[in-house]
Structure 1
Amino acid sequence: MSPPPAATIEPSLGGLPLATPSMLRETQLRRQAFFAVVMAAICIGFSAPLVRLADAGPAAIGFWRLFFALGPAIVWAYAEHRARVRLARLTGATALRPSARQILLAMLAGVFFGADLIVFHKGLALTSTANALLLGNLAVVFVFVFGWLILRERPTRGLLIALVLALTGTFIIIGSSALGGGHAGSRAVSVAGDLLCVGAALAYAGYMLVTRAVRRAGRGDAVPLGGGMVSLVASATGAVVCLAWAVASGEVLVPQSLQGLLAVIGLGLIAHATGQGLATFALGRLPAGVISVVLLLQIVVGTALAALLFGEVPSLIVLAGGLLVVAGVTTARPN
């Protein structure tokens, strides 16, 4: 029998295959992606402390956060457009434009994201940073619950375990607030803040589901909508939602100090543009489950900053409930 073609013979040393340049390159890219997602978690972890430093209304803070993130989103979307045009010229095809359905879905995602920011910022003003961050990360669990209830996807054993862990942790955290464990003076106020953060997680789950839908080419869509265009449309829509709510509710629209102005700029450039951008970059190199778990580092970063800046040290009960929430979120995330 003749030997196999030379192209199929892998170099080896002592019977073990040697790493090829492509394998080494892929390993390097995955390491870069892991570093990127760690940095993304750190950047996003600044969100809650920066919100506390911003002296404007909850919805107004959301507006400024998205407003200052529009610049990077425009650059990202333009780069995608130029790449699509160059590809069309090379292949001789026509550069396809996004469909009306895709744009509307991206706008709907922005509505959900704007609602998430408004509700989360209001909840953060009423409860502790640790409570807000832990409860806000329930969004992933809600995504799987919606898939079960709305899409009729059969729940797995892992999802049921995740639900039990996450809901138990949630009740412990809210129960701690009801017993006077929150940073706010009133127990009722602290519980209300916890419930608002759960509501924010529901809104963010809606954002995640709609974004997942718009990033996939559906019926009648000639090409998937790029991440840059989705980010631009969703951010612009969310900014309009936040501004409209801030005006209607009579909030303080403009930061009242240099500290407040720097805080909202930091929210837009550090937490939103850089943090979300690095996470999106890593998504193309690492499994979504790995990225999701690493992003839980934002809870540690945000809680540590709150303890250093504002003296908010979570109680042992909150830490115990938080561990259950994190365990539930981790179990619910795909591999």
Structure 2
Amino acid sequence: MSPPPAAALSPVATDSFHLLAPLSGEAHEALLRRNAFLAAIAGAICIGFSAIFVRLADTGPAAIGFWRLLFALGPTAVWAYAEYRVGQARRRRAGAAGPLRLFTVRQFFLAAFAGLFFGADLIAFHFGLVRTTTANALLLGNLAVVFVLIFGWLCLGERPTRGLMAALVLALVGTALIISRSAGAHGGDAASLIGDAFCVVAAVSYGGYVIVTRTLRRNDGAGGVGLGGGMASFISSATGAIVCLVWAVATDEVIVPQSLKGLLAVVGLGLVAHAAGQGLTTVALGRLPAGLVSTVLLLQIVVGTSLAAMLFGEVPSLMVMIGGLMVVAGVVVARPPRTPA
């Protein structure tokens, strides 16, 4: 029997055909952005464990960063190798000759520069964490979203949306509440205020790390392709580990973990907080604006402060909770667009 004429096909039949057709370019891009957003959320949850592991570690602040990055090198090396194999297979299918280039000179130095920023972030954050409360350290350290919005606008041309600008205002007001509470609660205690100040320095450093990583991961706009997440993480982690080790040796810190608990803490930092948390963040930065990713990362505050309250009895004061809620509200305000820009 001959098939019916095209005019006889029902709308249901044609719609079903389109459902089976490949996604359009715009729909595919929207799907990738949603997946990147989920990766950023998962990364924020993993990074939220970092303050707890730091509390349990028994080495110096910079040494903690060294072990964290050292134990992350194995998973990131496997990730980079897997990316290389996939890239090689694609080149063979496309008929390209010669091996795949791992990275350009520019990409290597940018990844190393990101590692310098991340090493500085770890040293400053760990130094500040032992001098202030976990809630203060997490909330002030996550002020990085402010600097990412500013740097991303000035350096990458990623103009913040109204939602991101609202998140910026909320973060600033919340931070002011936290600092004022810290100064009042400790009667101007210099140690607490110094700890808060170092956490803000860590936020600036992490903001630089995010911007450089975003530059590495996105396409360069001239037909090139951004550096793969695995290779970017491996180079930056190796560089950051060297920075932390040099600082630890220069300041005569305790470098080797003194107990099994301390060893497990730095292993957890390397595998959970860095390899998984920062790795997923690097994936998200390949598809989403830096300001949006850094805003989503504020969710780690919920994880960190909740765990600190359960494990260490560090229940945040009302003022700190209000400031924290104002900062976290930025995640809701700055939710990603449903369709690609």
TM-score (norm 1): 0.83
Where 1:179 maps in the other structure, the secondary structure is helix
Residues 1-335 of structure 1 aligned to structure 2 (within 5 Å):
11=14, 20=20, 38-93=41-96, 94=98, 95-149=100-154, 157-180=162-185, 187-218=189-220, 223-280=225-282, 295-328=297-330, 331=333, 335=337
Opposite residue 48 of structure 2, the aligned amino acid is: G
Aligned partner of residue 185 in structure 2, secondary structure: coil
Give, in whole Å, the separation in 2 of the partners of 1:301 and 1:216.
29
Tell me the distance in 2 between the aligned counterparts of 1:113 and 1:175. 28
Q: Secondary structure at the match of 2:202?
A: helix
Question: How big is the shift at 1:263?
Answer: 0.3
Q: Is the Cα–Cα contact under 8 Å of residues 52 and 307 in structure 2 kept in the other structure?
A: yes
Q: 8 Å contact 1:135–1:194 — kept in the other structure?
A: yes
CA distance in 2 between partners of 1:284 and 1:208 (Å): 11
CA distance in 2, matches of 1:65, 1:98: 24
Moved more, 150-159 or 322-331: 150-159
What residue ranges of structure 1 are gaps of 5+ in the alignment?
Answer: none
Distance 2:188 2:323 in 1: 21
RMSD over aligned CA atoms reads 3.7
Letter in 2 for 1:324: M
How far 1:71 sits from its partner (Å)?
0.1
Distance 1:224 1:51, change over 3 A: same
SS state at 1:56 partner: coil
After TM superposition, the score normalised by the length of structure 2 is 0.82
**Which AA in structure 2 matches 1:187?**
D
| Separation (CA, whole Å) in 2 of partners of 1:215 and 1:36 | 15
Asked if 2 retains the 8 angstrom alpha-carbon contact of 1:99 and 1:221, the reply is: no
Q: Deviations over 1:253-301 (max 9, x none)?
A: 1111111001000100111112233445567799988866654332111
The 8 Å contact of residues 55 and 256 in structure 1, kept in 2 or not, is answered as: yes
The 1:278/1:205 distance shift into structure 2, 3 A limit, reads closer
